[in-house]
Structure 1
Amino acid sequence: MKLSVLFVVFLLLCVHRRSSGSHPKPSCRYPPSQWCRSLEIAIECRVQKQCMELNAIRANQSVPPVSVTLYYESLCPACRAFISQQLFPTWTMLQDIMTVTLVPYGNAKELPSGNSPFTCQHGEPECRGNLIEACIIHLTGHSAFQIINCMESAVDVLNAAQPCLQLYTRSVSWSTVESCVKGDLGYQLMHANAAMTRALNPAHTHVPWVTFNGVKH
């Protein structure tokens, strides 16, 4: 039941985002994270049925959360829009029943040798972006998704990395991230992301690529 509710809300977000592009003043005045805060808001945003279903399953904490894994690229326009407009708002509202794993790699290629061990669809800047985000995800734990969303929502993803990190966490310094990016840890993280992406079955054909509980839908 939890997975079906997650799909309903996820699809609802997709429809809401698409429709809002053609209507400058949508009827709902609240962000997705507030839709189920009260009955009045749910009615105004036309999600009362989904909120009732969501509240019904929240009481059952013994049910494991739905695992959502996103395979993406840091500079891919479609990936950036998907993260900031669909996946992050969904997670914000449903993080108590869903977990999100981010795998920055996508259509990159791992080379057997050479000074640059990876090539990326959008060039060297994207390889650096993937590496920075892999290090941030590894180092910052629960704050990682907020930082990545901040970066992917910015005009310049790479230049946003340091201020986004400082905005959402005080426990990890930018110098620690840079050490990861320049050292063996960064390479190990990217190699692991490459292996996860290659292991997809069916193999990914585009990005963003999303699996629910390990299964492509």
Structure 2
Amino acid sequence: MKLTELLAVFLLFFTDQSSEGKSHPKPSCPYPPSQWCRSLEIALECKVQKQCMELTATRPDPAVPPVAVSLYYESLCPGCRAFITQQLFPTWTMLQDIMTVNLIPYGNAKEIPSANSPFTCQHGDPECRGNMIEACIIHSAGHAAFQVINCMESAANVLNAAQPCLQLYTPAVSWFSIDSCVKGDLGYKLMHNNAIMTRALNPAHNHVPWVTFNGEYTDENQDKAMSSLFHLVCQLYKGGKPPACTGAQVKLDRSLC
């Protein structure tokens, strides 16, 4: 959980405790917690300027590039689903300030010269559809795409979960737009681009999930990623390690209400 989210939970908890048994006045801050530290003006209006200063003090050095993690995967591959939900998403949740994630849904699919079905997939047509749905979500949902895809891959049925997961995490993106992408030229274009990126891997992939770090693949890093991606990202980051990596306690002066 990011520090802004922790801050929101912290403040909301003590607000509820202090106002127990009393009426709940309309909050004076019109912004969601994720926006509280976007600018000094918002921080002042929401009365969290002190907390935002502490948050800024613990952020990584912006001059140090984040660890770029790219995952080449298939939507219905059991190993890929486990890696996304048990390794990649939890690590990103804790370390997203020092890492970026690039998802390339294609894996062991094949691009074939056919107007009706230009792709074949290891787990059949449902996987081809799942790959394309996720490619369209990545294209349309921006920063929230990873949350949507993790939601899908965590579900018992990946395809059936697509629409409710999209509505949950990106209500501004309509399912109609994703469905149109899947059924139209854009979806095929996105999958073709994923095919090009996957075929360009050096060394060539021979299984999925296939993980590269800063554009490079090694068997050693692949093994480490499968067992403990969190520790590997901390190890690869060149800047000062965040508290989550070091386990160091961070003592912040929190005001209480």
Is TM-score (shorter-chain normalized) higher than 0.5?
yes
Quick check: 1:104–1:134 contact (8 Å CA) kept in 2?
yes
2:72 counterpart SS class: strand
1:57 Cα offset (Å): 8.7
Residue 172 (structure 2) pairs with residue 166 (structure 1): no
Q: Which amino acid aligns with 2:184?
A: G
**Partner of 2:121 in structure 1?**
120
What is the RMSD of the two structures over their aligned residues, measured on CA atoms?
1.9
2:212 counterpart SS class: strand
Which 4+ runs in 1 deviate beyond 6 A?
none
Residue deviations 1:150-202 (CA, integer Å, cap 9, x gap): 00000000000000000001211000000000000000000000000000000
Q: Percent identity?
A: 78
Q: 2-side partners of 1:148 and 1:132: how far apart?
A: 10
Q: 2-side partners of 1:67 and 1:167: how far apart?
A: 27
1:59 Cα offset (Å): 3.6
Q: TM-score, normalised by structure 1?
A: 0.74
Residue segments in structure 2 that go unaligned for 5+ positions in a row = 7-56, 219-257
**Partner of 1:201 in structure 2?**
202
**Partner of 1:50 in structure 2?**
none
**Partner of 1:133 in structure 2?**
134
1:114 Cα offset (Å): 4.0
1:113 Cα offset (Å): 2.4
Please give the residue correspondences for 1:132-151 in structure 2 after superposition, counting only pairs within 5 Å: 132-151=133-152
**Partner of 1:175 in structure 2?**
176
Q: TM-score, normalised by structure 2?
A: 0.62
Please give the residue correspondences for 1:18-37 in structure 2 after superposition, counting only pairs within 5 Å: 33=1
**Partner of 2:43 in structure 1?**
none
Q: 2-side partners of 1:85 and 1:143: how far apart?
A: 18
Q: 2-side partners of 1:169 and 1:58: how far apart?
A: 26
Residue segments in structure 1 that go unaligned for 5+ positions in a row = 1-32, 38-55
| Higher Rg of the two aligned structures | 2
Q: 1-side partners of 2:202 and 2:161: how far apart?
A: 34
